[in-house]
Amino acid sequence: MAQEDKGLMLRGFLLVALISCIVAFVLTLLFWRNEPPVAHEHVPPENVVPLAALPALAPFPSNVSWAALVEISENSPSAPGFDVRYNAAATMARRGDAQTPWPLLLEMLDEKLQMRNSRERQKDGKYLYDELSARTWTIHALKAIAAWHEKHKDDANREVPSGLRDIYTRVDELAASGQGLIKEQAEKTRATFFR
């Protein structure tokens, strides 16, 4: 009986030692990092352009190259979080909300801007554009605008909000475009307009 107790105790100590080794190994893996921190070798050119556009030779505002700033704004994507704002604006339009943000829907109808919003920078520095994503935002806006008009078609006073006039012009341009799905949806949306 004493012999069995010694064997049982020996197995217990071996088990505790094995578990201690496993715990030590896991903790070593968790807390010991051999890799150096990632260093960015170069700054993307779009982050340096504003610095190059602002020479510090004269006092503000004459030191600002306004033409360069306009060009930068024309080649920059929308501010981060644009997808959330776009979804909110489209939802408000589909519900027929009187506070629909028409400038945001107009931004959604800008095909060039949507291409810039859906670009991804590759490792070699070139951009890859997701045309499907860009066109999806435009079609999404067109459908939301058509839904807004459907909600208001029975109104006695079918007054067109001021921001909607610019959208009418942009939708007319899209209806004349060569892109099949966008052209088709733009024509359907134009059919709902109050003209």
Assess if residue 11 is contained within a domain. Answer: yes
On whether the pTM is more than 0.85, the answer is no
The CA distance from 96 to 92, in Å, is 6
Assess if residue 128 is contained within a domain. Answer: yes
Distance of CA 120 to the CA centre of its chain: 11
Assess if residue 195 is contained within a domain. Answer: no
Assess if residue 108 is contained within a domain. Answer: yes
Q: Identify whether residues 90 and 65 lie together within a single domain.
A: no
Pair 186, 167: CB distance under 8 Å: no
Q: Identify whether residues 17 and 49 lie together within a single domain.
A: no
Q: Tokens standing for 28?
A: 């070593």
The confidence score (pLDDT) of residue 130 equals 83
Q: Identify whether residues 131 and 57 lie together within a single domain.
A: no
The CA distance from 4 to 76, in Å, is 78
Q: Identify whether residues 110 and 19 lie together within a single domain.
A: no
Amino acid at the residue 161: P
The confidence score (pLDDT) of residue 26 equals 86
Q: How far is CA 132 from CA 32, 119, 125, 135, 158, in A?
A: 44, 11, 22, 5, 34
Amino acid at the residue 190: R
Q: Identify whether residues 97 and 116 lie together within a single domain.
A: yes
H/E run at residue 20:
helix 2-31
Q: Identify whether residues 125 and 180 lie together within a single domain.
A: yes
| 168: containing domain | 78-190
According to DSSP, the residues that pair with 128 across neighbouring strands are 120
Q: Tokens standing for 52?
A: 């190059």
The CA distance from 17 to 15, in Å, is 5
The confidence score (pLDDT) of residue 34 equals 61
The CA distance from 166 to 103, in Å, is 9
Q: How far is CA 187 from CA 102, 112, 157, 190, in A?
A: 19, 20, 24, 5
Assess if residue 57 is contained within a domain. Answer: yes
The confidence score (pLDDT) of residue 40 equals 42
Assess if residue 86 is contained within a domain. Answer: yes
Q: Identify whether residues 29 and 49 lie together within a single domain.
A: no
Domain count of the fold of the chain: 3
Q: Identify whether residues 171 and 103 lie together within a single domain.
A: yes
Averages of pLDDT over runs of 10 residues in the chain (195 residues) are 73 92 86 56 55 55 65 73 92 92 93 86 81 90 94 78 87 86 91 84
Q: How big is the chain, counted in residues? A: 195
E strands, 28-184, in order: 119-121, 127-129
> CA 86, 150, 109: angle at the middle one, nearest 5?
30
Q: Identify whether residues 177 and 115 lie together within a single domain.
A: yes
Q: Identify whether residues 30 and 54 lie together within a single domain.
A: no
The CA distance from 39 to 132, in Å, is 34
Q: Identify whether residues 170 and 122 lie together within a single domain.
A: yes
Q: Identify whether residues 58 and 31 lie together within a single domain.
A: no
